[in-house]
Amino acid sequence: MNINFNSIATLLVIAIFISFSAPLTVGVTYSLKKEDQRIKTELANFQKTIFDSLEDSLKEALLNLEPTQIENAAQLVIHDQRIVSIKVYSSLYGMTLANLKKNRELKQNQLLIQKREIKINDEQLGYIEIAIDNTYHDTTSFHARRNIIFLFAGMFICGIALIYPIIYFIIIKPTKRLMLQAKNLSAGDMNSSFKWQGNDELSELGNILEKMRRELKLYFLQIKKLAVTDELTQIPNRRAFLNDAQEALSLSERYDRPLTIALMDIDHFKEVNDTYGHDMGDKILQDVANLITDMTRSTDIFARYGGEEFIICMPETDMNEAKIVTEKIREGIQNHNFAHEQTLTSSIGLSTKSTNRNLVALIQEADQAMYKAKKSGRNCVKIYSRD
């Protein structure tokens, strides 16, 4: 697994991990030291208790030389599993009165040998020497240390187990989602929406990006519309026509269906501009565009091709059907009452798909047929003939 140390989420997890583990480490160290002190104090108290108990029991016995009583007192103490041997020596008589040992083999460094003198009124009666099994306390200390470490390790694991899901769902997951949202925007993907709930900063940032996406999408749609729409007539322009007509021609070829192109020109339109002005000419072009739009089907591709020229691509339409449609359009233009209250006519050329699969060639053929209509006196429909 690759860890990105430049990620804010990763740095935050590391910071929380350190801030969480640091006090636990201090707590473990402090607890271990306190446990060591407790073990040492316990050992010291144990030694003092044993020596005090024996000293009280042995003073009179040492003074009166009562070996049996001395040995009985030592026997009571040596039953403790921590004690390995007890030796009682009488200074008055210069002899060992008790020397009890357990059958336990221990190395010298595993024994803690302590010695205490016994006195009465500053008169030395002898001494007590006790050997204590140091491994017992080491084992006790080890188990205590292990339990402390296990306790703090459990606390650390439980803490991480509780904190990590919170960090993941509140910080890491939303951050990754924000990154994906930003990458989609930078790649120009305006269709992938992201819904954000909550009042935290990451959710607010996500909502800002989502608002930006919607606004950019609206702007792009407007720009796209401007790029393919004729500004004056608000119908598709030449660029849009060429794209859509090429797709229609491809479908026509694939399924072997008829398709016809009609190119038309408003007769003597220059005279309209010269006589009535360009504003009137623009109004007439808008009227012509609206008139033809009402007379074409939703499946037809109608556009302003340039100047006073308009073009129609009619899928699923053979030459005979196209002739009928364009004659109605011609008559509609001729009979329409335009703003300058003068009659307008149009010349229309038709070209149908045959073996020619080139859209540009079809348009050129329709253009030739249109000029043929102009030469024939205008206000008519002519068909391009390949003969």
pLDDT of residue 98: 85
Cβ-proximal residues to 26 (8 Å cutoff; 6+ apart), any chain: none
| Domain co-membership, 116 together with 20 | yes
Q: Is residue 15 part of a domain?
A: yes
Which residue among 76, 109, 137 closes a domain?
137
Q: Which residues make beta-bridge pairs with 132?
A: 83, 112
**DSSP state, residue 378:** S
Q: Is residue 300 part of a domain?
A: yes
Q: Is residue 344 part of a domain?
A: yes
Q: Give the whole-angstrom CA distance, residue 167 versus residue 154.
A: 20
179-201 as b/e: b if 16+ CB within 10 A: eebeebbeeeebeeeeebeeeee
Cβ-proximal residues to 127 (8 Å cutoff; 6+ apart), any chain: 88, 89, 91, 115, 116, 117, 118
pLDDT of residue 287: 94
Q: Is residue 376 part of a domain?
A: yes
Please tell me whether residue 277 adopts helix, strand or coil conformation: coil
| Domain co-membership, 198 together with 130 | no
Measured in whole angstroms, how far is the alpha carbon of residue 136 from the centre of its chain?
56
CB atoms < 10 A from the CB of 19, how many? Answer: 9
**From its phi and psi, is residue 125 left (phi > 0), alpha (psi between -120 and 50) or beta?**
alpha
Active-site residue list: 308
| Domain co-membership, 202 together with 322 | no
CB atoms < 10 A from the CB of 300, how many? Answer: 20
| Domain co-membership, 268 together with 356 | yes
| Domain co-membership, 208 together with 323 | no
Length of the chain (residues): 387
Cβ-proximal residues to 146 (8 Å cutoff; 6+ apart), any chain: none
Give the angle 177-183-185 at the CA atoms, nearest 5°.
Answer: 105
pLDDT of residue 2: 52
Q: Is residue 157 part of a domain?
A: no
Tens of pLDDT along the chain (387 residues) come to 455 545 666 677 677 777 777 887 888 888 888 888 888 888 888 888 888 888 888 887 777 778 888 888 888 888 888 888 888 888 877 888 888 888 877 777 777 888 888 888 888 888 888 888 877 777 777 777 888 888 888 887 887 788 778 888 888 888 888 889 889 888 888 888 889 888 888 888 989 999 999 998 888 888 878 888 999 999 999 999 999 999 999 999 889 899 999 999 999 999 999 999 999 999 999 999 999 999 999 999 999 999 999 999 999 999 999 999 999 999 999 999 998 778 899 999 999 987 556 899 999 999 999 999 999 999 999 999 876
| Domain co-membership, 132 together with 207 | no
| Domain co-membership, 336 together with 200 | no
Domain, as residue range, for 346: 238-383
| Structure tokens given for 221 | 């749609």
| Domain co-membership, 96 together with 56 | yes
User: Of 125, 129, 101, which is closest to residue 115 (Cα–Cα)?
Assistant: 129
How many structural domains compose the chain? 3
- For residue 345, how many C-alpha atoms fall within 13 Å in the half-sphere facing its CB? 11
Q: Is residue 165 part of a domain?
A: no
| Domain co-membership, 213 together with 329 | no
pLDDT of residue 52: 84
CATH number at residue 131: 3.30.450.20
| Domain co-membership, 305 together with 364 | yes
Q: Give the whole-angstrom CA distance, residue 65 versus residue 192.
A: 103
| Domain co-membership, 130 together with 215 | no
pLDDT of residue 3: 52
DSSP of 77-95: HHTSTTEEEEEEEETTTTE
Give alpha helix (H) positions in the chain: 8-64, 67-78, 134-167, 173-186, 201-228, 238-255, 269-276, 278-295, 319-335, 359-375
**DSSP state, residue 2:** -
CB 297 within 8 A of CB 243: no
| Domain co-membership, 94 together with 38 | yes
Q: Is residue 323 part of a domain?
A: yes
pLDDT of residue 1: 46
The H or E element that residue 96 is part of is strand 95-101
Which residue among 103, 137, 171 closes a domain?
137
Q: Is residue 288 part of a domain?
A: yes
CB atoms < 10 A from the CB of 377, how many? Answer: 10
DSSP of 245-261: HHHHHHHHHHHT--EEE
CATH number at residue 269: 3.30.70.270
